[in-house]
Each structure stands twice: as C-alpha cells, then as structure tokens.
Amino acid sequence: MAHGPVALGALLLWIIIFQLQIEQTVQTWWNLGTLYLVGTQPLCSQLPGLSPGQIKMCQLYHDHMPSVGRGARMGIQECQWQFRHRRWNCSTVAGDMSVFGPVLNIASREAAFTHAISTAGVVYSISRSCKEGELANCGCSQEQRPSDLHRDWIWGGCGDNIEYGYRFAVNFVDSKEREKNYKIGTIEQGRSLMNLHNNEAGRRASYITARVACKCHGVSGSCSLKTCWQQLAPFRDIGDLLKDKYNGATEVKINRRGKLQIADPKFNLPTAVDLVYLDESPDYCLSNPSTGSLGTRSRECNKTSEGMDGCNLMCCGRGYNTQRASITERCDCKFHWCCYVQCKTCTQEVDVHSCK
Ligand SMILES: *[C@@H]1O[C@H](CO)[C@@H](O)[C@H](O)[C@H]1NC(C)=O
Ligand SMILES: *[C@@H]1O[C@H](CO)[C@@H](O)[C@H](O)[C@H]1NC(C)=O
C-alpha cells in the first residue's frame, strides 16, 4: 500500500503550493515600509511580501534594503498627503500584508498612482543613499555635465545618483511582474503591464523633476565661482507631478496580442510618464469588505467647499454631523530683541463636520 503516503504527499504539496500562491497575491514589498524601522536588519527570508526575484535581490544587495523600506514609506506618506481630502485616502490597513487592503486589487487609477509613487520613493531613497555613501555598490552621480551649464561653473560635487536609483528600481520593483508567465491577452497579463507602465512613470517622475544645484565659492561669498551637481527635487514635487498624472490618467485595455491599447481612440497615447489604468474606480462611498473600500463614514468634510473635500461629495449625499470643537494654537506671537519669540495660546471654537 504505497498509495497512501504518496497521495498524502501530493496533497501536502498541493496545499503548500496553493498557500504560496495565495500569499504571493496579497503580499507586496510595500511591507518593507513598515518593517525597516530604525536599527533593524532582518534576514531576506524573514521579510514578508517579497517575490522570489526580490528575495534574490535582497540577498545580493542586503545593504540596500533599509533604503528600499524608507522609499516605500516615503511613497505611502506622500500618497496619504496627496489624497487626504479624497474619499479614497490611501489609508493602510493594519495587519494586512497587502498594506492597502484588497482595494488595490482593482486595476484603478488609485492603484496606478500607488505603484508610481512607491516606485518613485525607491528611486529617490536609493539615489540619495548612494550620494550619502551608505551603499557599497554606488557613490556620487556620474551624470554628464548639462550642455547649458554656464561655462565658468564647475560640474563636480557629489550629486544624487539617480541613474543608479533608476536601474535598481527597475530590477527590484519590476522583477515581481516579470517573473510570472501570464497567458498573452489575459486580464492578469494586462494588470502586470499596467503595473510595469506605472512603475516606469514613477521612475521617470523622479528623473525629470531633478535639477541642478550649485554652491558659491570665491572671495567672501562673491560667487565668482560655482560648483554644481545633480539633485533630486523635493519629494513633494514628484508627488504633485504624479497627482497631475493621476487626474489625467488614460484608460487602457489589453488586446489579444498582449499589448495595452487605449480604450478610447479619441484620446492621445499615454507617454512613459503618464499613468494608465484598466478599470473604473469604485465610488468609495460605502464600506465594503469584499472590495476593500473603507467608505467615508465619519470622515471630516468642509461645508463650504465645492470640491472633493466638500461635505456634499465626500459624504456621497448622506449628509453630515456637526460638532463644536475647541482648537488651541499659538497666537499673538511677538519677537523680542534678541532673539526669542513669545506667543500666547488662544482657544477657538470651531464647527467640525463629519459624514453620516
Ligand atoms: C482615511 O479614511 C479612513 C476611512 O474612512 C479613516 O479612518 C482615516 O481616518 C482617514 N485618514 C485621514 C488622514 O483622514
Ligand atoms: C473649506 O473650503 C473653503 C473653500 O474651498 C476654504 O476657503 C476653506 O479654507 C476650507 N476650510 C477648511 C477648514 O479647510
């Protein structure tokens, strides 16, 4: 009776594979944003959310991982700031290994933005870490001197290594999409191409917002001499750019040849920095555990605003409650010579509105 153990073995194997598949679909590297807190250096195999290719990258570039974690965190925080007045506000779901909950399983504009901003966060954080000398494989930027730089100025100093950050983000972030063999023309392949396109948009956003920064030299600050280098824009600028791209995102679909094409031929083809999405967003009005929408109940809203933060749109017509609240702030500040500022504290009564 050799069948028993074999069948049992096959069953166990099946369970293990099935489990692995479930885990892979719900976990993502965004977890690194919460895992890499100050001073911790977990083993790659202990990091939930990494795909097999990402685990290999983690082993090869172990010293990069805290920086990847910071990048993920920057992306998530920027997403929450950009969307703070919207129904979907980029909130993370505590204890959920997918970080944002099932809501990003929908191939929506919101998913597009999240992929772009988190990838931009990795480019940002790795580029800066290279410059700071924190990583063994990279140092200052090797970028060519811009042709329009004043010819008396020196191209030197230590710039953010965006070329390296960009390449690393291609290898690390995109590997998750590239290591699966989806059938051509399927929804799954479409979603994978969508993620890849939006990851690239995030990388380009970091690159095209970068600028030249300079420092003056010369006799007592005369600035007759300048040293200049490549510098990343503040991350807020990258967030603002990608938020614009979110507003103008292009709806696409997957065709039978396994390529993304625009859903409505009236519109222009998206460029590499534009965001693309496959599915319309839900309205995010009500809490729905199956889609992962948290709903807007008890969200704060602005009674006088006509925009998305206004009570009308935020509360989806359900109305709102008003509470009196007192806020305490510093006021009547006076500058005293020299040098301190003295303030009073004022308490003010305000109405706070929140959705029913
Ligand atoms: C985001 O929305 C959720 C669900 O409505 C809410 O619990 C949370 O407080 C909101 N976050 C912010 C910063 O408004
Ligand atoms: C509410 O919206 C109005 C109009 O957009 C704006 O002027 C005001 O500052 C907002 N109030 C708060 C508390 O955000």
pLDDT digits (tens, 9 = 90+) for 215-251: 888 777 678 888 999 999 999 999 999 999 999 999 9
Q: Distance (Å, rounded) from C-alpha 125 to C-alpha 63?
A: 13
Highest mean pLDDT among 98-107, 127-136, 259-268: 127-136
Which residue of 294, 297, 354 sits with most ligand 1 atoms within 8 Å of its CB, as the best mutation to test the pocket? 294
Which position has the higher pLDDT, 113 or 98?
A: 113
Place of tokens 């925080």: 77
Q: How is the chain split into domains, by residue range?
A: 30-295
Q: Distance (Å, rounded) from C-alpha 272 to C-alpha 279?
A: 19
Instruction: For residue 179, give every residue at least 6 positions away whose Cβ sits within 8 Å of its Cβ, in sequence order, or none.
Output: 51, 52, 53
pLDDT tier at 19, thresholds 50, 70, 90: very low
Q: Distance (Å, rounded) from C-alpha 306 to C-alpha 295?
A: 20
Q: Distance (Å, rounded) from C-alpha 324 to C-alpha 132?
A: 49
Ligand 1 center–CA 79 separation, angstroms:
13
Mean pLDDT computed over every residue of the chain: 87
Widest CA span in the chain: 95
Ligand 1 center–CA 89 separation, angstroms:
6
Q: Hey, CA dihedral for 122, 123, 128, 129, is it positive or negative?
A: positive
346 pLDDT higher than 60: yes
Q: What's residue 296's pLDDT?
A: 94
Phi-psi region of 331 (alpha: psi -120 to 50; beta: other; left: phi over 0): beta
17 pLDDT higher than 80: no
pTM equals: 0.85
Question: Three-class SS of residue 293?
Answer: strand
Contact 317, 324 (CB under 8 A): no
pLDDT tier at 98, thresholds 50, 70, 90: confident
Which residue of 86, 299, 302, 349 sits with most ligand 2 atoms within 8 Å of its CB, as the best mutation to test the pocket? 302
Q: What's residue 289's pLDDT?
A: 85
Give the closest residue (by CA) to ligand 1 atom 13.
Answer: 84
User: Does any ligand 1 atom lie closer than 6 A to the CB of residue 89?
Assistant: yes
Nearest of 113, 34, 24, 25 to residue 71 by alpha carbon: 34
Give the closest residue (by CA) to ligand 2 atom 3.
Answer: 305
Helices 187-208 and 235-247, axial angle in degrees (round to 10): 140
Q: What's residue 48's pLDDT?
A: 78
Q: Distance (Å, rounded) from C-alpha 38 to C-alpha 70?
A: 10
Give the closest residue (by CA) to ligand 1 atom 5.
Answer: 296
Q: What's residue 26's pLDDT?
A: 55
Q: What's residue 36's pLDDT?
A: 61
Give me the count of residues in the chain. 356
Contact 212, 146 (CB under 8 A): yes
Contact 85, 308 (CB under 8 A): yes
Q: For 166-170, what is the mean pLDDT? A: 97
Ligand 1 center–CA 91 separation, angstroms:
6
Q: What's residue 102's pLDDT?
A: 83
Q: What's residue 35's pLDDT?
A: 64
Q: What is the pLDDT of residues 287-331, one digit of tens each?
A: 988 888 899 999 999 999 999 999 999 999 999 999 998 989 888
Q: What's residue 315's pLDDT?
A: 96
Give the percent of the chain with pLDDT over 70.
90
Give the closest residue (by CA) to ligand 2 atom 13.
Answer: 302
